[in-house]
A and B are shown apart, each in its own frame.
Chain A
Amino acid sequence: MTRRNWVRLDNASNIFLAARSETDSKVFRISAEMDHEIDPELLQTALDTTYDRYSLYHAVLRRAIFWYYLQDSDLRPEVTTDNQYTCAEIYDARRPGLLFRVVYHHRRINLEVFHALSDGTGALWFLTDLVAEYTRLRYRQQDLPENTDTAQLTAQPGGGAEDTQARELTTDSFRHYFRGKQRPTEHPKTSSPSMSPTKTAYRVKGTRTPDSRTRAVELTMPVKDVLALARAEEISLTMYLTALFFESIRCAADGLGKSRTLAATVPVNLRQFFPSVSPRNFFATVRVEHTYGNGPDDIGTVGRALDRQFRPKATPEALEKKVRRYAKFERSPMLRIVPRPIKDVVLRVINWVNNRGLSVSVSNLGRVILPEPVESHVGRMGFHVSAVRPQMCAMSHAGLLTVSFTSPFVETDHIREFVRMLTSQGVDVSVAATRVTEAEFAEDSEI
């Protein structure tokens, strides 16, 4: 007799289910490039070991009357070749399966995760442990640490081997930090988070890919060159890239027409302020925008303006206020008694309203450091996300910055502008793109 563990889906994750669509599977991919062709059997063994350590990853998603919930399962993951397009759908309501997959292609190990299960940081922990375990198996003769467990975790505030229990299903960091009594200093008056008016922003338009797959283009460049450019403008790398992204979109669109405002949503990892070792979703988003045509619009000025908006919004106090407001909304009795399918519709409408105020999304997982013997066998690492609007994801490892662009559209004009702006400043960029149109496949088969 099995009575399985289960837990209600957390605060942030519900939106991924409601906002999921044919073009946007809400799946993200993190990849690590090794220094050799991947050995699938060793990767499978490494996956089995890592999987056993992360009970959250055993979960399947089920539907109840009022909420979705995650439930423990006996399923085992299987390593496959990269046989589907990037960020292909994972969750199928009628056939509950695991919410992640591990695939390989030549020298790459890719982890794809349904966003309702885990966020970028949580998935990066899993991938780090997987890669560490794989490397240990592959280079057995070398002197690698026996226990690669929590390689990444221990680097986190509050992390440590004894805390690995926290990677279980039932740990919800949102509930842990934002459910109790509020600090007496602030009392947000807003009744619902969704109804705060957001300005409409310029929306990128394009031709959808023929089979609704995500178009991904990955740029690789030396991180020090781009960092030098950002430092010269005295702004953070994320905001420098965002400003560059805005400018690329403006150039590609040949001016913005009537709506001169570009807005981006930037996720912020809450673990840096509220220590948690749970790989479940634990982030909040910050919106930044810039209206063109009101003064100088060069990269530096735009970047500094974005930085000035971003910093006060990304403080622990501001984030706590924002998340508490969401948590309060989620706990309101009115919403709780609404059946799940209707909640989905409500969330979908909220999401649609929010999307009107956003042009692009920007996400930076930052610099990844692996434990030393593993570090030297891993080259660039990158990640990208299925997208309903043009999205930019950045990540750096081994001195290489990968900036990935994803979008539901065929067009790559903004990426071309982005690349040319960087190369014109002397940055070496290499471009890797997925094929998405009949013409591109025809070209491939001509060879």
Chain B
Amino acid sequence: MKHCTQCTAQIEGDWQHCPLCETPTPGEPSHSPFPAIPLNYSRRRVVRILFFSSIAVILGSFAAQLLLERGSASIGSLRSVWLGVITMWLLVVMAARNQRNIAKNTVTLVLLVGLICVYWDYLTGWHGWALSYAVPIVCGTSILALLITVRVLRTEVGEHIVYSGLTVLLGLAPIGFLVFGWVTTPIPSAICGAISIIALVMLQVFRGADVRHELAKRLDL
């Protein structure tokens, strides 16, 4: 074994110099109980900075729209291009976050896309397309998509049930649009509402106990 003449101690491993005082170490190298694991510079900080600066740019872009005149009179189709680019950017950032839970991702996506569409419609002069078409279609299809995905991926019930429930509840919103007469065409909202009600009944009948178990766990005080 190597040893350090200054510390008068034995040194395990193949240190050429004492790890404590850097004095050259004579003697035969031995096995170290610790393997030499190469340095590994984490990119986590860079990723975090990129994430937060992206979010800042995206939020800034959405806020900047309010400074421009509403309707098509101001910057015309450029606004839609701008909104399209930052929406795309936002979705890419969300995808890059790589949340493992598909149901949770779906809820986030439905909320984000729904809110952006409504805002977009509002900015371009409120033609009602967001509430009549975009939101009900996104909500309805996401419920169907989720039903299929959790089956295909065999996601554990406890993993997705709360978020699936939330997606279904979001799907009930278009019924409200119908009641308050906010829509120009009632069909998408009616279909979405029907899907949600059926899904909700099924959830209650087949998975009621699971939902209560998961909620009790997640809301435990």
Identify the A interface with B (CB < 8 A). Answer: 1-4, 6, 8, 22, 31, 33, 64-67, 69, 81-86, 94-96, 105-108, 210-213, 216-219, 336-337, 412-413, 415-416, 419-420, 423-424, 428-436, 438, 440-441, 443-444, 446-447
Contact = CB atoms under 8 A, between A and B. Distances in A.
Interface string B28-65: 01011111111111101000000000000000000000
B217 A416 contact: no
15 contacts: A66-B219, A211-B39, A211-B40, A211-B42, A217-B19, A218-B34, A219-B9, A420-B7, A430-B11, A430-B12, A431-B7, A433-B20, A435-B36, A436-B39, A447-B14
A68 to B, nearest CB: 11
A412 B19 contact: yes
B34 A440 contact: no
Contacts of B217: 6, 64, 69
Given A66-B219, A430-B1, A441 B36 contact: yes
A433 B10 CA distance: 12
Interface residues of B, number: 46
A33 B13 CA distance: 15
A413 B35 CA distance: 22
Contact of B220 (A8, A96, A217): A8
Interface of B: 1, 4, 7-21, 29, 31-42, 44, 97-100, 156-158, 209-210, 213, 217-221
The 10 closest A-B pairs by CB, nearest first: A433-B19, A430-B10, A416-B20, A432-B12, A423-B8, A64-B218, A429-B9, A85-B37, A434-B34, A211-B39
A405 to B, nearest CB: 10
B13 A432 contact: yes
B39 A443 contact: no
Given A83-B37, A211-B41, A423-B9, A440 B218 contact: no
A429 B10 contact: yes
A22 B44 CA distance: 10
A210 B41 contact: yes
Nearest to B207: A1
A66 B220 contact: yes
A10 to B, nearest CB: 13
B64 to A, nearest CB: 29
B119 to A, nearest CB: 26
Given A3-B210, A211-B42, A446 B36 contact: no
Contacts of A216: 34
Given A210-B41, A432-B12, 9 more contacts: A2-B157, A2-B158, A3-B213, A66-B220, A217-B19, A419-B9, A430-B9, A430-B11, A440-B19
